[in-house]
Amino acid sequence: MIAFETLLLGIVIGRGPVRLMVAPPVTSVEIRLDRATVVLLHRPPWATNCDFGPNLLPHQLTAVGFDAAGHEVGRVTQWVNLGRERGKVSALLERDPKTRRPAALSVAWNVTDAAEPQRVVATLDGAPLPVTNPHRIPLPELDLAQAHLVSVEVTFTGTLRGRADLALGGDVIESAESELTAVAVTLPARQEALDLRSLNGVFLLNSAPIQPVAVDEGRAEAVLVFDSGTRLVARQGFKELRGGTDAMDPAFDRVSVASSIPTQTIDQEGGFRDLFGVSTPMRLDRLGNQVVFMSGAAPTTSLGDEKVADAVAVAGAEAAASNHRRGVVLVLSEAGLKATVGNRVHDRSTLGIPAVKAYLAALNVPLFVWSLIGQVSGQLPSAWGPAANVSTPHRLRKARNNLERRLAAQRIVWFAGRHLPQSITLDETATRIRLAR
């Protein structure tokens, strides 16, 4: 009855066209952005220009269809600036017909680029579940007095994957088994666990109290961005750098590399859109052991080819979309560090540095800045913030260890329903935990 013809991928700011496909019995369509009405359409063309604002932020774009009597007969939502769609995965909780207790997960997926998945990983409260039939995963006997989190991740290719998360038990309502929102928080020093019961009255949704349904540790995922003056060299070959199939194991933290040099494609409106490639994940614990950074301009790139700030924004969306503990690492060469003057990076980026940092804060994705400038101790100033010196293997390992410590201090708090990340805030007077920034 109603569907978006315009699919908003990548980074979206400012005004842009939004088109819909509409069929009977729909006679009018209301378009809403972040719960506010943008326009009410009563006839073709079912299209409008929508203002997503000058600042880079996640948005919820909803179209509601009404029939001639004014009754809602259809609704469709797409999430803007919240990570790319990497394949759809859905999970349905099966219950024992007699006891109504959870018995298994029925799993389905849909992706255009691969007929069958390479790997299906399921976890219960962060611990792996055995998967013999990827379409049906049995569940063990559960204490339903406690909240539990069940997650399924399907890997189609090295960079294409989808995920479904379900919460059950405790005070979780039935609707929480369909959609959840993940929020990353950081534990205070010397605290190693986060109890769900300690979070009563801690979180707010649009200034109203909201109670989480689960807490998860899981693995960590970091996304690295290198400027064109930085090259990544594997001592034992790029194939081994990728980490093999064990990089997909939920027991290992992972790291991917996002390109700062985009490729251009033509979008649905006939305009050009930048796409930033993201590498196959590798094991984070191999970073620094098998990898060295080398300063000097890469032979096939120049400062004019890259969009570092835009790439950092895309990396942040990629990290947040994983629903794991997360972070973005920006690695700057000497030329790249000197190019960050004031609040702009001197390349072709559309976005400014403050806008990108604010976007990562809204996604609850911390930013780590590393620099290849040698002969300097301590941290180096940059427009991105203080940069850790990684010019030697020792300093690189030190920076990597700090990254791992910071990621280890994170936890993922889950909420029933799908919400914009910036709409969930923390009452800092009621707790010592903080949103991951």
Question: Do residue 341 and residue 376 come from a single domain?
Answer: yes
Question: Do residue 7 and residue 52 come from a single domain?
Answer: yes
pLDDT average, residue stretch 148-169: 79
Kindly report the average pLDDT of the chain as a whole number.
80
Question: Do residue 159 and residue 39 come from a single domain?
Answer: no
Q: Strand locations in 5-71, DSSP E?
A: 15-22, 28-33, 36-41, 47-51, 59-66
Could you check whether the bond before residue 24 is cis, i.e. omega within 30 degrees of 0?
no
| 254's tokens | 């992972």
Boundaries of domain holding 166: 83-178
pLDDT of 175 higher than 60: no
- Asked if residue 423 is part of any domain, the answer here is no
Question: Do residue 237 and residue 282 come from a single domain?
Answer: yes
Q: What is the CATH number of the domain that holds 37?
A: 2.60.40.10
Cα(first)–Cα(last) distance of the chain, in Å?
A: 41
Q: What is the CATH number of the domain that holds 90?
A: 2.60.40
Question: Do residue 236 and residue 308 come from a single domain?
Answer: yes
Least confident of 69-73, 117-121, 209-213, 248-252: 248-252
pLDDT of residue 306: 80
pLDDT of residue 249: 64
**Closest to 337 measured CA to CA, from 384, 301, 396, 377:** 384
Quote the number of domains for the chain.
Answer: 3
- pLDDT per residue over 270-325, tens digit each? 556 677 777 777 778 777 654 555 544 344 444 557 888 999 999 999 899 888 99
pLDDT average, residue stretch 95-123: 78
pLDDT average, residue stretch 9-22: 86
Cα distance between residue 218 and residue 121, in whole Å: 12
Cα distance between residue 69 and residue 71, in whole Å: 6
Least confident of 40-54, 138-152, 402-416: 138-152
pLDDT of 238 higher than 50: no
Residue of 383 and 362 predicted with greater confidence:
362
Contact 104, 94 (CB under 8 A): yes
Domain's final residue, options 178, 206, 232:
178
- Asked if residue 212 is part of any domain, the answer here is no
pLDDT of residue 237: 36
pLDDT of residue 177: 45
Share of residues in the chain with pLDDT > 70 (%): 77
Name the pLDDT band for 239 (thresholds 50, 70, 90): very low
Question: Do residue 45 and residue 165 come from a single domain?
Answer: no
pLDDT of 161 higher than 80: no
pLDDT of residue 155: 80
pLDDT of residue 163: 79
Residue of 422 and 281 predicted with greater confidence:
422
Q: Is 100 left (phi over 0), alpha (psi -120 to 50) or beta?
A: left
pLDDT of residue 241: 45
Share of residues in the chain with pLDDT > 90 (%): 33
**Closest to 286 measured CA to CA, from 374, 161, 404:** 404
Question: Do residue 241 and residue 357 come from a single domain?
Answer: yes
Residues 6+ apart with CB under 8 A from 253: 219, 220, 221, 222, 283, 284, 285, 325, 404, 407
- Asked if residue 73 is part of any domain, the answer here is yes
pLDDT of residue 365: 97
For the ranges 56-60, 125-129, 273-277, the maximum mean pLDDT occurs at 56-60
Contact 233, 291 (CB under 8 A): yes
Least confident of 115-119, 143-147, 151-155, 244-248: 244-248
pLDDT of residue 340: 59
Question: Do residue 148 and residue 272 come from a single domain?
Answer: no
- Which residue blocks in 19-172 are alpha helix, DSSP H? none
Domain's final residue, options 150, 178, 206:
178
pLDDT of residue 361: 95
Question: Do residue 89 and residue 132 come from a single domain?
Answer: yes
pLDDT of 263 higher than 70: yes
pLDDT of residue 107: 84
- pLDDT per residue over 194-228, tens digit each? 998 899 999 999 989 999 988 988 889 999 998 77
pLDDT of 363 higher than 70: yes
- Asked if residue 421 is part of any domain, the answer here is no
pLDDT of residue 301: 45
Question: Do residue 41 and residue 133 come from a single domain?
Answer: no
- Asked if residue 378 is part of any domain, the answer here is yes
